[in-house]
Amino acid sequence: MTFPRIDLLVAPPDATDLVLLVHGGQESSREAAGAWRAAILRMWPFAVAARAGAPGAAVGMMRDRYRGWNGPDADPVADLRVVLDRLPARITRVQLVGHSMGGRAVVAVGNHPLVDGVLALAPWLPGGEPLVPMRGPVVFAHGTADRITSPAQTAAYARRLRASGVPVALLSVADDDHTMLRRSPDWNALVRDFAAGTTYKPSLDPDHVDQLPHSKHANNPLRGVLDIARARLTLRIVGQL
């Protein structure tokens, strides 16, 4: 049997903060979440970005037991709670960055006492998803060309959260899809700024939407693929939690 864990990619010995990257998956599967799956590889450039934004923090990659959400079992949520509950005492603050199914998972555990910020990238937030009073800055970002998860459902969840009194920053990422490759530099900048604590200010305005700034280096999916390759060559797993 496999167990959920955090693979540390950046580990300053005196770090008290952790930026935790939570990968995507699929609706149903109990196959192992292998390290070379596209959903996990896509998160590696965000480790580089998080290191740039918070150089004193540890940066870790969540490793779920399974590829799937798996209905009411919500395995990625159970896994994430397990690793948060068993973090060493020196870690006193966690920022969560999740993509797709991982975005749904970080929202679900956003009220954990260690969590101080949630960034959900192209999250999978189906209708009727339970509202969670998340802690710290809450930021949702979704590409307008996403056909895998729904930008409209993300906006609907943000409106529900705002109506409940939780401020949310909602970002529209023009012309990008679920892979987040076309505008990879812009997504990286968002993760960097989130880790640095300089991201968009959450709002209670039900319909407020910000646009993710479009850099001159965007609109090139190949650049996004090269970002993954560079990050995979630059970083390595230096420990586990």
The answer to whether the CB of 144 falls within 8 A of the CB of 176 is yes
- CA atoms of 171 and 166, how far apart (whole Å): 16
CB 22 within 8 A of CB 76: yes
What pLDDT, on the 0 to 100 scale, is given for residue 219?
A: 78
pLDDT digits (tens, 9 = 90+) for 51-107: 999 999 999 999 999 888 889 999 999 999 999 999 999 999 999 999 999 999 999
Distance (Å, rounded) from C-alpha 134 to C-alpha 72?
A: 21
> For the domain bounded by 5-240, which CATH number is listed?
3.40.50.1820
Alpha carbons 60 and 62: distance in angstroms, whole number? 6
Q: Amino acid letter at 50?
A: A
pLDDT for res 136 = 87
**Could you give the 3-state DSSP secondary structure of residue 190?**
helix
Tell me the Cα Rg of the chain: 16
Q: So what's the pLDDT on residue 240?
A: 94
Q: Which of residues 28 and 224 earns the better pLDDT score?
A: 224
In percent, the amount of the chain with pLDDT more than 90 equals 85
3-state secondary structure of 125: coil
Task: Report CA-CA distances (Å) from 216 to 46, 179, 184.
Answer: 19, 19, 11
Query: Residue 196, class by beta-carbon neighbours within 10 Å (0-12 exposed, 13-18 middle, 19+ buried)?
Result: middle
| Domain residue ranges in the chain | 5-240
Q: What is the mean pLDDT of the chain?
A: 94
Give the pLDDT of residue 75: 94
**150, two tokens:** 């729904």
Q: What pLDDT, on a 0 to 100 scale, did the predictor assign at position 104?
A: 98
Whether residue 1 is predicted with pLDDT greater than 60 in this model: the reply is: no
Tell me, what's the pLDDT at 68? 84
Who wins on pLDDT, 182 or 33? 182
Q: How confident is the model at residue 230 (pLDDT cuts 50, 70, 90)?
A: very high
Residue 232, exposed/middle/buried by CB under 10 A (0-12, 13-18, 19+)? Answer: middle
160-205 pLDDT per residue, tens: 999 999 999 999 999 999 999 999 999 999 999 999 998 888 999 9
Asked if residue 228 lies in contact with residue 45, where contact means CB atoms within 8 angstroms, the answer is: yes
